[in-house]
């Protein structure tokens, strides 16, 4: 699980420094396979408080606890249902967060007072080495390393741009390979619910469990999931979703009003005839896995390009695009009332 041989001596030294900082109450941004996290020692109340302050996140939105080995699951949680074991054994380390009953080792300030905790093992050698350096009786509480409601960071550069001066250290682990947040799964009296679609598809979960999972993403979840707020994951530039047929026309209309936009597509739509200096065009991959990997980096890029609007082509209505559609709908929600 932990291939330390792949890490350079320089990186290992940085990891030791990061672990030392965290043990003394520091806040460290670190890479995971999904997005970068803003980490604090779970057992350090002051450090966790700093995470909430830096992120400007309401304190009743619970944090995910990251652990380094499945052997520690019983220390941090209790009454683990059978399907949770099955999913953990199959998908960890990986982009899957399980909502489980917390043990007495998880303090109130991690869960916003709820008796459950979100927990996962990240699949990133730097994150795993950091957890290993912290030791078996510690874990990392970490939300995504961005300001509350904004786009999650998928590179150290994104974290630096948003939080640099406010945090103690950024561990650079390169670009995130998944690029979308973990799938969050809850358990209730034999039912398995997906509370946030993410890096692992609902069908993959169902096929491992051999039964259907309930998708709760658009219903009011029984537990608080901040990623389930209608407006979230949003760039500062207004973002709008348009079906393929009207993309061309929409960009034209904006340009005639002298508004500058970027059109971000996934299909083969030909925009070469637009040839308009007010309109940029970016193509994301047709494959949802690759699209997901590049989505946030592309949004970060164009959010810093002084444009008036980000026009996104509506994704295909297929299960494999669920997490992407979810993020884009939330990213566009905050701008629903803009006049563009
Ligand atoms: O991929 C990820 O999950 C990334 C990386 C850093 O691990 N983390 C992440 O954290 O996306 P954050 O805080 O941005 O989103 C975590 C979500 C929040 O919406 C939070 O409300 C939910 O997990 N969550 C945490 N504990 C929970 C609980 N006990 N019950 C319900 N939701 C919970
Ligand atoms: Mg987040």
Quote the ligand 1 centre to 249 CA distance (angstroms): 38
Q: What is the pLDDT of residue 130?
A: 98
Q: Is 178 in the pocket of ligand 1 (CB under 6 A)?
A: no
Beta strand 116-120 with 64-66 is: parallel
- DSSP line for 65-117: EE-S-GGGHHHHEES--HHHHHHHHHH-SSSEEEEEEE-TTS-HHHHTT-SEE
Quote the ligand 1 centre to 311 CA distance (angstroms): 28
Give the residue whose CA is nearest to atom 20 of ligand 1: 225
Q: What is the pLDDT of residue 3?
A: 58
Q: Is 116 in the pocket of ligand 1 (CB under 6 A)?
A: yes
The string over 49-79, giving b where at least 16 C-beta atoms fall within 10 Å of a residue's C-beta and e elsewhere, is: ebbbebbebeeebbbbbbbbeeebbeebbee
Q: Is 37 in the pocket of ligand 1 (CB under 6 A)?
A: yes
Atom of ligand 1 nearest to the CA of 118: 26
Under 8 Å between Cβ of 63 and 50: no
Quote the ligand 1 centre to 64 CA distance (angstroms): 5
Atom of ligand 1 nearest to the CA of 61: 21
What whole-number distance in Å separates Cα of residue 133 and Cα of residue 276?
Answer: 53
Under 8 Å between Cβ of 234 and 149: yes
Q: Which residues of the chain have pLDDT under 50?
A: 1-2, 219-223, 337-340
What whole-number distance in Å separates Cα of residue 118 and Cα of residue 174?
Answer: 25
In the structure encoding, which two tokens stand for residue 240, read together? 């709008």
Q: What is the pLDDT of residue 5?
A: 63
Return the ligand number nearest the Cα of 151: 2
Under 8 Å between Cβ of 209 and 187: no
179: left (phi over 0), alpha (psi -120 to 50) or beta: left
Give the residue whose CA is nearest to atom 7 of ligand 1: 37
Tracing tokens 């982009």 back to the chain, one arrives at 95
Please state the φ and ψ torsions of residue 3, each to the nearest 5 degrees: -100, 85
Give the residue whose CA is nearest to atom 12 of ligand 1: 143
Note the pTM of the prediction, 2 decimals: 0.95
Beta strand 191-196 with 183-188 is: antiparallel
Judged by DSSP in three states, 252 sits in helix
Quote the ligand 1 centre to 261 CA distance (angstroms): 32
Q: Is 139 in the pocket of ligand 1 (CB under 6 A)?
A: no
Q: Is 252 in the pocket of ligand 1 (CB under 6 A)?
A: no
Q: Is 42 in the pocket of ligand 1 (CB under 6 A)?
A: no
Ion ligand 2: residues, CB < 5 A: 144
Under 8 Å between Cβ of 330 and 187: no
Q: Is 35 in the pocket of ligand 1 (CB under 6 A)?
A: yes
């Amino acid at each position: 699980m932990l291939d330390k041989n792949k890490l350079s001596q320089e990186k290992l030294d940085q990891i030791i420094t990061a672990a030392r900082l965290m043990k003394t109450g520091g806040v460290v941004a670190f890479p995971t396979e999904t997005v970068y996290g803003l980490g604090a020692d779970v057992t350090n109340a002051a450090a966790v408080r700093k995470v909430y302050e830096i992120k400007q996140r309401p304190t009743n939105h619970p944090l995910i606890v990251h652990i380094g080995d499945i052997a520690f699951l019983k220390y941090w949680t209790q009454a683990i249902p059978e399907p949770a074991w099955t999913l953990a054994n199959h998908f960890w380390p990986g982009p899957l967060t399980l909502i489980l009953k917390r043990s007495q080792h998880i303090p109130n300030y991690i869960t916003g007072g709820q008796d459950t905790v979100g927990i996962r093992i990240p699949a990133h050698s730097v994150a795993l080495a950091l957890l290993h350096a912290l030791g078996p009786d510690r874990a990392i509480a970490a939300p995504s390393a961005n300001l509350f409601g904004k786009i999650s960071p998928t590179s150290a550069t994104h974290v630096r741009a948003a939080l640099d001066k406010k945090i103690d250290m950024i561990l650079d682990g390169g670009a995130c390979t998944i690029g979308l947040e973990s799938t969050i799964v809850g358990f209730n009296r034999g039912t398995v619910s997906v509370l946030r679609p993410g890096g692992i598809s609902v069908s993959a979960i169902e096929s491992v469990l051999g039964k259907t999972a309930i998708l709760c993403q658009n219903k009011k979840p029984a537990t608080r999931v901040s990623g389930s707020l209608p407006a979230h994951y949003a760039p500062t530039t207004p973002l709008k979703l348009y079906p393929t047929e009207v993309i061309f026309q929409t960009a034209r209309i904006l340009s005639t009003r002298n508004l500058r936009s970027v059109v971000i597509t996934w299909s083969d739509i030909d925009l070469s005839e637009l040839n308009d200096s007010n309109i940029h065009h970016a193509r994301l991959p047709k494959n949802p896995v690759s699209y997901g990997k590049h989505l946030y980096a592309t949004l970060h890029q164009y959010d810093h390009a002084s444009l008036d609007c980000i026009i996104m082509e509506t994704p295909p209505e297929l299960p494999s695009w669920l997490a992407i559609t979810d993020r884009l709908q939330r990213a566009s929600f905050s701008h629903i009332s803009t006049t563009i």
